[in-house]
Amino acid sequence: MDSKLALPVGTTLDRFIMRKEKDFPYATGELSQLLRDIALASKIVNREINRAGLLDIAGAYGNQNVQGEEQQKLDVIANIRFIRAFRNGGEVCTIISEEDEDIIQTGNPHGKYIVAMDPLDGSSNIDVNVSIGTIFSIYRRKTSQGCDGDLTDCLQRGVEQVAAGYVIYGSSTMLVYTTGNGVNGFTYEPSLGEYFLSHPDIKTPKTGKTYSINEGSYNSFPQGIKDYVEYCKSNEYSARYIGSLVADFHRNLLKGGVYIYPSTLKAPNGKLRLMYECNSLAFIIEQAGGKATDGVNRIMELEPTSLHQRCPLVIGSPEMVDKVTEMLKKSEAALVQA
């Protein structure tokens, strides 16, 4: 069968990955295996998340589980699960994780890939039964195989990503990813333990009427962002802000909209992290026909200088991102003239 034919809704993730691999004549199968490792780890994390409320009840007698270990927070559990999957898988040499200050060596010096991840995004929503997620980026290492990865491997620009994706643990659990050939979304069927293709070749609407920003910080936004918020209000746009980047992004990706985390007085570089939040979602939105900037520059071209560096983020439907950029530019120009 021609591997380039579109695969039908309902195709399992494993079959999808296998078919896509055939489009690359020199593929060794390692990236495919790495994507499968991520899918497997996400199923385990999904299980832990679904049990979260029950764990509280089970832990009410003292915060210890049956092995006598202290109960851990879900973002720590997710971090452990994903790292374990990469250690066991063998394709990844080095990991950047939001939960660890330094790079993590997997003990697989022959691994070709670097992973940057936010194992659990939306931490303030973990305890209140609201959608949360996992975000990841995959890079090819720069150093040669056979030794540990180093900072030159880890601090690559977003344009160097070979794959990126996220898992949203929501009313259903979905895995959405790209390898640079469009974006596909898979929905998890828990009774079968499988992801199935449910959203083939996702394209984001060119524009929308939803804006997502934490308006509580309005007073400390740059003038251009204040102007944009006023513009949204005067056009009766809908404000939607869950506080889980993955969930806000996912809704806007499918329905059209813009997500903004600007610089604020408290956080001059914004809050979100370049390596495992902004770049990953920027790759996905661009593959879906959208845009991602820091207000001025394309996110994927930013030069990373540290593992956990932050940057402002304006991401979503292309015409909406353009409008934000235009308003920021205008207010900057007015400031220079004044």
CB atoms within 10 A of CB 76: 13
Q: Does 118 bind Mn ion (CB under 5 A)?
A: yes
Residue 65 marked as a ligand binder: no
User: Applying CB under 6 A, which of residues 131, 161, 244, 252 lies at the interface with ligand AHG?
Assistant: 244
Buried b (16+ CB within 10 A) or exposed e, 286-319: bbbebbbbbbeeebbebebeebeebbbbbbbbbe
**Is residue 98 at the binding interface for Mn ion, with CB under 5 A as the rule?**
yes
**263 is an interface residue for ligand AHG by CB under 6 A:** no
E-strand stretches of 6-91:
none
CB under 5 to 8 A by kind: which of Mn ion, ligand AHG, none does 214 bind?
ligand AHG
Q: Is 98 annotated as a binding residue?
A: yes
Cα 26 off chain centre by = 28
Question: Does 251 help bind ligand AHG (rule: CB under 6 A)?
Answer: no
Query: Binding to ligand AHG by residue 121, rule CB under 6 A?
Result: yes
- The closest alpha carbon to 245, from 287, 209, 292, 206, belongs to 292
The residues near 160 (Cβ < 8 Å, ≥ 6 apart) are 139, 140
Q: In the chain, how long is the greatest CA-to-CA distance?
A: 67
Determine if residue 122 is labeled as part of a ligand binding site.
Answer: yes
Span near ligand AHG by CB under 6 A; candidates 140-148, 225-233, 242-250, 322-330: 242-250
Nearest approach, Cβ of residue 75 and ligand AHG (Å): 7
Any known ligand binding at 277?
yes
Residue 91 near Mn ion by CB under 5 A: no
71 near ligand AHG (CB under 6 A):
no
Q: For residue 123, state whether it binds ligand AHG (rule: CB under 6 A).
A: yes
Q: Out of 49, 138, 245, 288, name the contact with ligand AHG by CB under 6 A.
A: 245
Position 309 contacts ligand AHG (CB under 6 A) = no
Contact call for residues 37 and 86 (beta carbons, < 8 A): yes
Q: Residue 91 binds which one of ligand AHG, Mn ion, none, with CB within 5 to 8 A depending on kind?
A: none
Candidates 233, 197, 235; CA nearest to 16 is 197
Residue 68: exposure state from Cβ atoms within 10 A (0-12, 13-18, ≥19): exposed
Which residues contact Mn ion by CB under 5 A?
Answer: 98, 118, 120-121
- Annotated binding-site residue numbers for substrate: 121-124, 214, 241, 271
The binding site for ligand AHG (CB under 6 A) comprises 98, 118, 121-123, 214, 243-245, 271
